[in-house]
Structure 1
């Protein structure tokens, strides 16, 4: 084989190898996010993460009793490098949509103004900063609702955040990622094997996978067993040479720094 062809072939192999290691020098990224500020997050999830040396992102609803009554514990969670993130003050959802009978009139996003949700979002940021001292923050849309009467409500407060998590089930590929609506897989009842299968798909497709958990071992209608969750954590730890497990803010900053997000 001519020397030029050999060089071209080796260059292609090198390029493919780089592409396969482009998540902070790993083949994929997996982000663990937990919504709604539940007691189970402090009682079960944080100890499980700490046991294997992994970090999670906790999207906190600041009015939740599991938050307001356990502030010192959440402060310790932040000090241990987990991410405290914004899930609004009262978790308003659009009650005009099908299947939203659980939405109360007081916190019906359909009747909110952009000013009201913006004020509540900013207040939540202030509360979180008082706990962890940080200014860089990420956001998660309650119920995945992004608009009030067809208008994107986050536009008025985008400068408060570096990114936002949505609920579209997708493997995130490096490219023109919308940093203010990054997809995630909402988990409800899956087995450990099913959770691991999603991670394997992320590895195979050289993608980032964002898990969206609520209850872990109880406390929420959207729930996964503690056993399945721990099985996932063990797999992530056992495969840390292939998988980067950042917080959501770390992943977002990486996407922005590498030009993969907008």
Structure 2
């Protein structure tokens, strides 16, 4: 297939989500530009131009995005200055002549969200809105792919999640939605894409308690996993041994307290509506289906 020039840029292509999106776009015959921090780690794909730029380096971003119409913006690495870097990137994108940003946000992002990192996402969304750029926000929930990693070597899934439920989403479903939105942007009429100005809640097909998550992991993988609720104080104490900075421990613990608060239990049909296929359940994901 001849590669179609859609003047699309994909960020985060050295990571799992950005890499999956870049691979699918290439397979669909779309030429693209990949913005990465490490050229050596960039995927080798047909019709791909690789440029290096850090979100916090406005000059480099402007140079990297010249001639680009649409940017798939994967949220930056979790660190204290992430929001400032996001704002620099958005301003540089607008300055380079970009007209549209598709941004990976977070479910129930608000300025006072229980999950501390969701607050950055809300402020990033507001900055994109204020920029005047066309936008689509992909508000994905926690990745179901990570749940197996949450359980320690002892098989305990520890956290102050109480009896709350979480509609975790498969990373591949988020990638499929992003690809559908990007392809629609490339073929959009001058009036715009049907996804412009839309916010999509990307979740799994069901909301599970953490006890049900542990039971599903056990049943599908054969690895014994059990959920053991903690108090918030116990959660901070059990994570102190990792030596992580305070902001990161706050984020880890607030993942669970957001579940307990009922902020991550929404079940949406947006994955199927946009991608064309049903959302993947945790059991299906673990079984490789």
Q: Compute the TM-score of the two structures, normalised by the length of structure 2.
A: 0.28
Q: Compute the TM-score of the two structures, normalised by the length of structure 1.
A: 0.30
